[in-house]
Amino acid sequence: MENVMQHYFNDIVSATSQILQFDSSLKPAEENCPFGKETADCLNYFLNLAEEMGFETHNYDNYIGEVVYGEGKDFAILAHLDVVPAGSGWKYPPFGGVINDELSDGGVPGMKIWGRGAMDDKTSAIVCLYALKALKDEGILPARTIKLIVGCNEEAGWKCIEHYNKVATMPEEGFTPDANFPVIYAEKGILHFTASFPIDEAPMSALNAGERVNMVCDNASAVLTRKAGGKLVYYENPIEGTRLSYDNTTNILRAYGKSAHGSTPELGANALQAILCFLSTFNEGCKKAYDCLFDDVTGLKALEDETGKLSMSPDMAVYENGVLKITTDIRFPATMSLETVTEKLDQFGVEYVVNNYQAPIYNDPNGRLIKTLVGVYNKISGKNESPIAIGGGTYARALKCGCAFGPEICFEETTIHQANEYITFDRIRLLSEVYYNAIKEIGTKKDKFRIAVQKHGWRKTNR
């Protein structure tokens, strides 16, 4: 099979490096920029690139945009251009789009592009755009109207999708290039909640931890009482991958860990856990919080079905007015109800509020869309894999029939929501071929293709 996309490889690398240079993490709203000016600039860079290719584009008030190509029933490719905050610990500027052949932290060799959003999810958006360009350059008009929709608030609330549904019509079917190969047939339910733990005789006057509810906390601090600080002399931190640092002058205890996606807390090291573990050794209120959220005394993490076990990641915390408030990210099995989870939360015996809830999605793994996509991936990769389920939440939930499709590969090093996020040139080549052939397979049927050729006078060319 000829790889048509090799002709666009250098352009994809260049565009990816450039779009990674926009810090499109959530910022305060400005005039006509609901998620900050740089996020709007990033969206306009993408849409301008598409316009230069000759595509129809729409910018929906800098919330979300789309590139349109083909005719027939709508089919969505849902990607996002916003990113989580960079965090700390980068060896290259997180918004530099640096290209080199340095080894990754996990020892992965080869040429890479480094930057926040390299895997989640800017490269995928760029590759899908060039896949459409390749089809267009060949004179292939898809028999589906392909809508490459790029959101700007996927990581922090989905207000982009809400806005799109107000001003446009969301296709019923599609995929999002924002998870894992071979294809995702089910996504766990998502529950974000904040629990309030009263702290009597508090060992701290302040505590702050975490940046986002869906990022494993990699930085936390607490202003300790002198009595509490004195207990650190004999304390050994048992939380693997974390480090504690105490300033005797300011009485500030700091904890450092490793970030990861909230759906995969086992890949990170939680700094909040390190601080709370220490405080729980001599304060009952802190111990209760630790027992509920880290030691899992109510058995939440034992809930399991074919889509996997429940995961729980306490990622943000603040102490004020005698109450420790901890915000936690839960991903629960796709065939289970929300009530099954909240019954366990009720057993905490403290007040809690639900901040965000997304119902799980479950597709027939033998359905047409899933079978088509896994077939394309297996053909290109030479593998023989089956559809999988994940704990992550993707734009697939915005569709009546949607699934996630790449760009990560299971059991390979992942850096999304972590420092030193990167994508390899080899992965870009794979994505290019897979997405091009997937769109072509979905959008070209022989009978409709012949009609399109006659109508537009286009001719399919071979490269």
For the stretch 144-153, pLDDT in tens is: 999 999 999 9
- pLDDT at residue 384 greater than cutoff 80: yes
- pLDDT at residue 174 greater than cutoff 70: yes
The pLDDT of residue 448: 38
pLDDT averaged over every residue in the chain: 92
- pLDDT at residue 460 greater than cutoff 80: no
100-109, 267-276, 279-288, 358-367: which range is least confident on average?
A: 358-367
The pLDDT of residue 185: 92
The pLDDT of residue 75: 97
Q: Is the separation of the CB atoms in 41 and 22 below 8 Å?
A: yes
Is residue 2 very low, low, confident or very high in pLDDT (cuts 50, 70, 90)?
Answer: low
Is residue 156 very low, low, confident or very high in pLDDT (cuts 50, 70, 90)?
Answer: confident
The pLDDT of residue 453: 35
The pLDDT of residue 120: 94
Q: What is the average per-residue pLDDT within 247-265? A: 94
The pLDDT of residue 391: 81
Is residue 390 very low, low, confident or very high in pLDDT (cuts 50, 70, 90)?
Answer: confident
Q: What is the average per-residue pLDDT within 348-369? A: 92
Q: What is the average per-residue pLDDT within 376-396? A: 92
- pLDDT at residue 5 greater than cutoff 50: yes
The pLDDT of residue 452: 34
The pLDDT of residue 446: 41
- pLDDT at residue 455 greater than cutoff 70: no
Instruction: Convert the pLDDT of each residue in 66-122 to its tens digit.
Output: 999 999 999 999 999 999 999 889 999 999 999 999 999 999 999 999 999 999 999
The pLDDT of residue 411: 86
Q: Is the separation of the CB atoms in 271 and 256 below 8 Å?
A: yes
Q: Which domains does the chain have, with CATH numbers?
A: 4-186+362-456 (3.40.630.10), 189-358 (3.30.70.360)
The pLDDT of residue 410: 86
The pLDDT of residue 3: 79
